[in-house]
A and B are shown apart, each in its own frame.
Chain A
Amino acid sequence: MHELLEYALKFAEKQHVFQAEALATKSEIITLVIEKNDVKTIEHKTDQGLGVRVITKKFGKEYIGSAFTLNLNKNSIEETVKNAVQSSQFRKIDFSNASFPSFKTIQTVKGIYDSKIPNITLEELTEIGKLILESAAINEKINSINAHLTLISYWIYLVNSLGVQIGYPSTIYNVSVEVIAQNLNELSSGEEEYINRIFNEEKAYQTARAAALTALSQLNSKQIKSEIIDVVLAPEAISELLMYTLCQEIKADSVQKNQSPLKGKINQEISSNLITIIDDGKIEGAIGSKPYDDEGAPTEAKTIIEKGVLKTYLYDAFSAIRNGKKTLGNSLRPSSEIIQKYAVEPQAAPTNLIIKPGNETFESLIRDIKKGIYVKKVIGAHTSNAVTGEFSVVALTAYKIEGGEIKFPVKNAMIAGNILELLKNVDGIGKIQKQCQSLSIDSSIITPCIKIKNVAVSA
């Protein structure tokens, strides 16, 4: 693959560009699909493609262009370079001294590749499928089991005309299970997801069983009345809320474009002092970990919020130069399951967004709550307003808390508010973290349960 990338660079140089970058991904995705209690499909996808970015100069001003191709023959690569150059003609960079990163640092991150993943046989996979079904079929109330088990292995290659030349493999293992339970005419659902870099068969069965238990625990749900009460949010609910709000607001691009309420708030208190949030792109084994970001800069750890005080925004190469800073290794080309990074332009984004755990157990978090709800899963967070942080979501899996105990499942409750208000009202943090998927398949939010006071809950 490096040969093709070098070919693209050489061809770009012939077009008299100032700088050029070529990135390719090559991926293999195997998915086992279980639908309604049956191993239904196995999917096997392979993908490769190449993306070119160029910086061109005209009358002392700099311009950026980009284009991509899945068709990796030389004619098509040449056409792609020309397309990138053409798209740059009109796209002036709004600051001077624009440059792609030029790091020569050699860095490795542990635990992001598991050689077992590309080597699992399809026969082993269907066997796991059978056992997932058995694990979720707890009793006769389990009506329907649906699941996806996905094994992704991919290589990212990147070269640029400043001498950056990298290539590294990664794997992702993802199990998501949805179980529908039925009691007379009432249906309830339970969803659980496990995501990691390393293959773990046992986790697939645990996830299936947990989804079944959640579905069963949601039977006999009741409506609650609208009021302002304490809420305990599970990692799944927190991730869902943060990815469409805070994760957008801490991007330097958003701040520079006046699209973040965090503008001008560096070193100010923006949340409860119980909250410390770190972005760490090189911790071992996490989904968002990688040695280099998606434009070749080494990843690193940085504290975003320290005991409630905002410390930094997240920078990629361009947003950093614009602010006279250095990149923090937060360039991301967001991807879905098929890792097609070459088709997406990079932006500043969190890698692994980590909420530092506290020391409370789940029991101690709910112990003092007279009236409240525990919310495990929310839907509708993608309708949040990333500019203001306002959100309004449905608590799909939730339980009423009364007198310090979980009492009954709750139907159709809505939670609305502003993410920064929510973070100000944090009243307790759990000690056990869970890794959840963020917006890109290779980014995560790692968080424990969080207790929040005075949240508007409506029926």
Chain B
Amino acid sequence: MILDLAEKAVNYALNFGAEYADVRIEKIKVTSIKYSQEKFDVASSGLIFGVGVRALVNGAWGFAASSLIENEEENYVKNASRLAVKAGKAASLHSKKEADIVLLKPIKDEDKIVVKKDLSLISIKEKMEIPINIVETTKKFNKKIVSASALYLDECGEKAVATSDGAKIINELSRIYFSVKAVAKEGEKLTSIHESEGFLSGFEIFDKIDLRKYAVKAAEKAVKMLEAKPAVKGRFKAILDPKIAGTFIHEAVGHACEADYIITNQSILCNKLGDQIASEQVTIYDDSTLNGGWGSSKYDDEGVPTKKRVLIENGVLKEYILNRETAKKLGMQNNGGARAASYAYKPLVRMSNSYLSPKDFSFEELLEAVKEGIYVKGSRGGQVDPAKGVFQFSAEEAFLINKGEIAEPLFNVSLSGSILETLKKIFAIGKDIEHHPGFCGKDSQFIPAGDGGPHIAVQEIIVGGKI
């Protein structure tokens, strides 16, 4: 059993000289399928088996990771523990030896998931039908849809976390993600829209959901955007839909609350706990315990129980996202925010499900409140410099708001601004809320993280687009 193996690795690390060690072992099966233009660009499955050992030695960290081979795993694990301690010793030579962590009471637990259709027993052929179905439905929607592509990803298996302060956690994984991209064309004009969904579930989820819904949504929007005019530019009052509001919350606020950025002075939220940094209506959570949440887990990758973190409450900055080390350094209560992309990466301070809490405006009331401005929907992604406090996102769809009503569509709208100024300019918050699955990247580690929120109205935002 991989938990026993992880415990052995912890003991090896202690014997080699670690003061503290944590170990993660993963044995999982993954599937990735990409279907576009009536063919599969990717249809592959893989068997992943590996160990990651982190050792604290003389106030510095060593980390070692290794792929594992069945029947020889104990030798590999022992070697990884040896290399981790050796690396930690070497790092400590010129280190300030300041690394230290919060220790916890021993805990032994399981984070199980009940599935009806085990992903590892479903043939890849059956999984390949999912993207085909989505793509076919998308293409049939309208003659203007010239192409469509879809992605299907899943993983299932077990992950063990063991630490030298006695955490022994076994986590069962079963995760499914799919997305569709619809491309519409009229004359020379091309538009594309992306819809995605993710579940912590077995394959039975496809008996419950209607795949058509995602296909039709993507197709409908792509066709609508064909009517779009070139984007306006300048400063505008704006309504952000739950997707782009979620992206803003995640990219601009969530990352700035990550305590490693706080410690290295790379966040604009340094030394701001207790300050009013947003308008009073703004309450933002990062919740690892969100039921069925895409980024949810009962324990983090340092074996620490997770929780619902209140990042901003009524505009006041309340809490950072912490791991064992940043909690120690800042003298704060650890809130279980350490996550790693896989066994091969050391855990970092990460978000789980970050979202803006809904208030009381209906969508019509938001339109009325904005009167003249733009309505931006969906996100093609974006980037943030947490040190400078600036963000930039590209929207999927955008519309002018004219006399309190949605008017003509605009294409190529990108938003940018200062994070702190924008937070203070949120003046009305909707009562709807949506959560969306995503993959968040930090230091080359991509992990599943959810984001969400209601529709929000912002006093002013910079619209770039093409001029």
Picked from A73, A393, A456, the residue with its CB within 8 Å of the CB of B69 is A73
Q: Return the contact of B412 from the options A72, A89, A390, A396 (Cβ within 8 A).
A: A390
In the complex, A125 Cα to B68 Cα: how many Å? 27
Is A394 among interface residues, defined by CB-CB distance under 8 A? Answer: yes
What is the distance, in angstroms, from B236's C-beta to the closest C-beta of chain A?
13
B43 touches A87 (CB 8 A): yes
Assembly CA distance A336 to B444 (angstroms): 8
Among B63, B392, B465, the one with the most A-chain Cβ atoms within 10 Å of its Cβ is B392
* Docked-complex contact B48 and A70, CB < 8 angstroms: yes
A439 within 8 A of B: no
Task: Please pick, from B44, B48, B344, B416, the residue contacting A345 in the complex, using a CB distance under 8 A.
Answer: B44
CB <8 Å contact, B466 and A36: no
**A15 in the interface (beta carbon within 8 A):** no
A42-B392 in contact (CB<8A): no
Q: How far is the CA of A379 from the CA of B464 in the complex (A)?
A: 14
CB distance A42 to B344 under 8 Å? no
Contact residues of A between 119 and 135, Cβ < 8 Å to B: 121-123, 125-127, 129-130
Q: Which residues of B contact A79 (CB under 8 A)?
A: 47
Given contacts A47-B67, A75-B70, A86-B124, contact A228 B467 (CB under 8 A): yes
- Given A36-B264, A45-B65, A345-B44; A394-B416 close (CB under 8 Å): yes
Flag whether A116 is at the interface (Cβ < 8 A). Answer: no
A144 sits at the interface (CB 8 A)? yes
Q: Which residue of the partner chain B has the closest CB to A46?
A: B66
Which one of A122, A393, A396 lies within 8 Å of B90 (CB-CB)?
A: A122
Cβ contact of B414, chosen from A45, A47, A383, cutoff 8 A: A383
**Interchain CB contact under 8 A, A126 and B91:** yes
Collect the chain A residues with CB atoms within 8 Å of residue B42's CB: 66, 345
A198 CA to B76 CA, complexed, in Å: 29
CB distance from A312 to the nearest CB of B (A): 22
Q: What is the 8 Å Cβ interface bit string for chain A, positions 190-231, against chain B (1 contact, 0 not)?
A: 000000000000000000000000000000000000101000
Say yes or no: A458 contacts B382, CB within 8 Å: no
Using known A-B contacts A86-B125, A379-B383, determine if residue A180 contacts B416 with beta carbons closer than 8 Å: no
Instruction: Provide the residues of chain A in CB contact with B99, threshold 8 Å.
Output: 40
Residues from chain B with Cβ under 8 Å of A65 in the complex: 43
Segment at the B interface, from A5-13, A349-357, A400-408, A410-418: A410-418
B64 and A43 within 8 A (CB)? yes
Query: Which chain B positions have C-beta within 8 A of A30?
Result: 87
Q: A387-B192, A416-B466, A456-B467 are in contact. Are A76 and B87 (CB under 8 A)?
A: no
How distant is the Cα of A129 from the Cα of B96 in the complex, in angstroms? 12
> Which of B49, B91, B123, B394 is the one whose CB lies under 8 Å from A383?
B394
Q: Are A394 and B392 in contact (CB under 8 A)?
A: yes
- A143 B65 Cβ-Cβ under 8 A: no
Q: In this assembly, does B62 line the interface, its C-beta being within 8 Å of a C-beta of chain A?
A: yes
Contact A91 B63 (CB under 8 A): no
Q: Assess whether A76 is in contact with B70, with CB atoms less than 8 Å apart.
A: yes
Q: Which of A87, A94, A123, A129 contacts B124 (CB 8 A)?
A: A87
Say yes or no: is A258 at the interface (Cβ < 8 Å to chain B): yes
For B394, give its contact among A36, A387, A392 (CB under 8 Å): A392
Known: A390-B466, A414-B392. A144 touches B67 (CB 8 A): no
B392 touches A40 (CB 8 A): no
Contact of A70 (CB < 8 Å), options: B44, B68, B146: B68
- Minimum CB–CB distance from A116 to chain B (whole Å) comes to 17
Specify the chain B residue showing the minimal Cβ separation from A418.
Answer: B466
A48 to B48, CA, bound (A): 11
A91 to B60, Cβ gap below 8 A?
A: no
> A72 is contacted by which of B40, B69, B234, B260 (Cβ under 8 Å)?
B69
Tell me whether B71 is interfacial, beta carbon within 8 Å: yes
A133 nearest CB neighbor, chain B only = B94
Q: How far is the CB of B149 from chain A (nearest CB, A)?
A: 9
Q: Contacts A68-B46, A258-B147 given: A392-B414 contact, CB under 8 Å? A: yes
Beta-carbon nearest neighbor of B37 in chain A: A257
Q: Contacts A65-B43, A126-B91 known; A44 to B38 CB distance under 8 Å?
A: no
| Inter-chain contact A69/B46, CB cutoff 8 Å | yes
Q: Determine the chain B residues whose CB is within 8 A of the CB of A180 once the complex forms.
A: 264-266, 387
Least CB distance from A294 to B in Å reads: 15
- B124 contacts across to A, CB distance below 8 A: 83, 86-87, 90
CA distance A89 to B40 in the complex (A): 12
Expressed in whole angstroms, the Cα–Cα distance for A91 and B41 within the complex equals 9
Q: Does B98 interact with chain A (Cβ within 8 Å)?
A: yes
How many whole Å from A446's CB to the nearest CB in chain B? Answer: 22
Q: Is the CB of A122 within 8 A of B87?
A: yes
Contact: B412 with A42, CB < 8 Å?
Answer: no
**Is A394 within 8 A of B94, CB to CB?**
no
Task: List A contacts of B93 (CB < 8 A).
Answer: 39, 123, 126-127
Q: Cβ of B65 and Cβ of A46 under 8 Å apart? A: yes
How far does the alpha carbon of A65 sit from the alpha carbon of B40 in the complex, in Å?
10
In the complex, A67→B48 CA distance in Å? 11
Contact A42 to B91, CB < 8 A, known contacts A72-B69, A75-B70, A180-B265: yes
Of the candidates A36, A87, A258, A385, the one whose C-beta lies within 8 Å of that of B45 is A87
Q: Which residues in B have their C-beta under 8 angstroms from that of A417? A: 466
Give residues of chain A (373-428) contacting chain B, Cβ–Cβ below 8 Å. 379-380, 382-383, 385, 387-388, 390, 392-394, 396, 411-412, 414, 416-418
**A residues within 8 A CB of B190?**
387-388
Choose from B45, B60, B344 the contact partner of A47 (Cβ within 8 Å): B344
Closest 4 CB pairs of A and B: A122-B90, A42-B87, A41-B61, A70-B67
In the complex, besides A39-B91, A380-B383, A414-B464, 20 extra interface pairs with C-beta distance below 8 angstroms are: A35-B260, A36-B265, A39-B94, A44-B84, A45-B66, A46-B66, A71-B48, A87-B128, A126-B90, A189-B388, A258-B146, A379-B383, A380-B382, A380-B414, A383-B393, A385-B192, A392-B394, A392-B466, A394-B385, A456-B467
Q: Which residues of B contact A (CB under 8 A)?
A: 36-50, 60-72, 83-84, 86-91, 93-96, 98-99, 123-125, 128, 146-147, 183, 190, 192, 233-234, 260, 263-266, 344, 346, 380-383, 385, 387-388, 390, 392-394, 412, 414, 416, 418, 444, 462, 464-467
7 contacts between A and B (CB under 8 A): A39-B94, A67-B46, A73-B70, A180-B265, A189-B388, A392-B465, A458-B467
